[in-house]
Chain A
């Protein structure tokens, strides 16, 4: 019986065959904590009797949700984490670098075959780099900090195969919204998703990250793109690592297989208030929007900003729309700055903020009043996610967001 890539990652790590359904205490290669879930993780670590973390070099700490501190409480939490980092010899990236998942990938802290945990649900994004990466709560994180390992139930896998090339101004975000609509908000609960097919093979790392990032929106524990030349080229720019073969066996046993033909895919919009409510953009075109957010760990990379800028061209954003654009990291910000994108956005009327989670976090800034409508390139449109529970959030690609921001209403990016 063949093994899935997930089974192979656990088997490699433990030096023997491990199959889906088994529960193992697996060593973790990296543990990521940020300003929201980190203080509680540290508190739990201490309550467990923790004195020194298992390996400070395997802990990634940074602040991204409420930065710069937007309240005295947030400032206090950040002080608490800084002190812990200092006492433990953990390198703290603090508020400097950007959104945790983008930064973890940029730093090369998630490589093929590794097991990564993060105290944030979108940790599954590192599956784009061929890692088994999953989001955990603060108490589990306290345990991982103390012991350098955690209990995992090795998940079964849903095999998602996408073939074909995207049409103009249709891309990875549209695909993953369509997949989420098909699989459903809980269709992959307790399972891993493996993304294969020539569409994923043809995607750059930015697009793969967008897709892996949203595996959790189907309940998945991980969302893995098997590593190929694109993956190895990316990771080898960041750290010294010898490529090796890591893919599911041809006779691997999957829980389920789903295939998608992207050649006919239209831009997708997830309507309120669930991520799996994706529809063709045409079905909601014309819906008035008050705020457009382009950013987040899902779609705040240079490639996303470039796509938005391409749609924008030399035009201006509609004067009655608040356009908030946030590069996902300092690195991506600099790339966009040097390419002239930031200047273009500001000229067009956008607010460009420093790298952070922004309105996606629903607490720091960019909140919505009752009755307001936001169109966002982020990953969640739950009721109240971006402010009032009487507001509405729609999700879309950077191209659709830019097109809609120009017209002040949801707009098919192919029609601008």
Chain B
């Protein structure tokens, strides 16, 4: 498992440039992940690797190609100080785990990271850092493996029902 470290405001154009948006296959998208901004990524990334980033990860376009490309590349989770809203939701929907850790900035490239989602912390370089819980209504989607899987279990949705926060 390798930790790929990124900075602040990593936008979805950086994750997957606009010229590849006619592609929908995860494996094909993965070949172009971070093309131009982190050229070695697509060739070296391995199944089970993790991305650690600063604030506002995934800002910009609503393109779901971005989390799909990362998942297709084998990335299992993105740990960031904060996420852009649409990316966060998209990641959960496609089964890529977005983890908010306000101290993610101190995790160095290549440092092994162990995440304990249930107890709300991660350990990196011997340091225990708090992570934010995934909101209840999204946790159910995570537990199903994604929104498609969750939706398959629903016949209809009762409009205006309040959910767990």
Contacts and interface: CB of A to CB of B under 8 A. Distances in A.
A121 B86 contact: yes
Nearest to B138: A151
Interface in B127-163: 135-137, 146-148, 151-152, 154, 156-163
Nearest to B23: A73
Interface residues of B, number: 51
Given A139-B93, A140-B89, A380-B60, A149 B135 contact: no
Given A24-B163, A151-B137, A384 B151 contact: no
Interface in A37-84: 37, 39-40, 43-44, 47-49, 65-66, 71, 73-74, 76-77
Interface stretch (A125-133, A185-193, A279-287, A322-330): A185-193
B159 A27 contact: yes
B36 interface: yes
B162 A24 contact: yes
Interface residues of A, number: 63
A221 interface: yes
Interface string A110-126: 00000000011101000
B156 A43 contact: no
B18 interface: yes
Contacts of A47: 148, 152
Contacts of B21: 36, 65, 363
B36 A389 contact: yes
Contact of A382 (B13, B152, B156, B161): B13
A24 B159 CA distance: 8
A407 interface: no
B55 interface: yes
Interface in B29-66: 36-37, 55-56, 59-65
B162 A383 contact: no
B89 to A, nearest CB: 6
A384 B37 contact: yes
A147 B60 contact: no
B163 A384 contact: no
Contacts of B165: 21-23, 153
- Most A CB atoms within 10 A — which of B13, B61, B147? B61
B84 interface: yes
Nearest to B93: A139
Contacts of A274: 9
Contacts of B85: 189-190, 219, 221
Given A26-B159, A73-B23, A147-B156, A385 B18 contact: yes
Interface of B: 9, 11, 13-14, 17-24, 36-37, 55-56, 59-65, 82-86, 89-90, 93-94, 135-137, 146-148, 151-152, 154, 156-165
Interface of A: 13-16, 21-27, 36-37, 39-40, 43-44, 47-49, 65-66, 71, 73-74, 76-77, 119-121, 123, 135-140, 142-143, 146-149, 151, 153, 185-186, 189-190, 219, 221, 274, 361-363, 367, 380, 382-385, 388-389
8 contacts: A23-B137, A27-B159, A47-B148, A73-B22, A74-B22, A135-B86, A362-B13, A363-B21
The 10 A-B residue pairs whose C-beta atoms are closest, nearest first, are: A362-B18, A137-B90, A389-B36, A73-B22, A14-B160, A186-B56, A363-B19, A363-B18, A139-B93, A48-B151
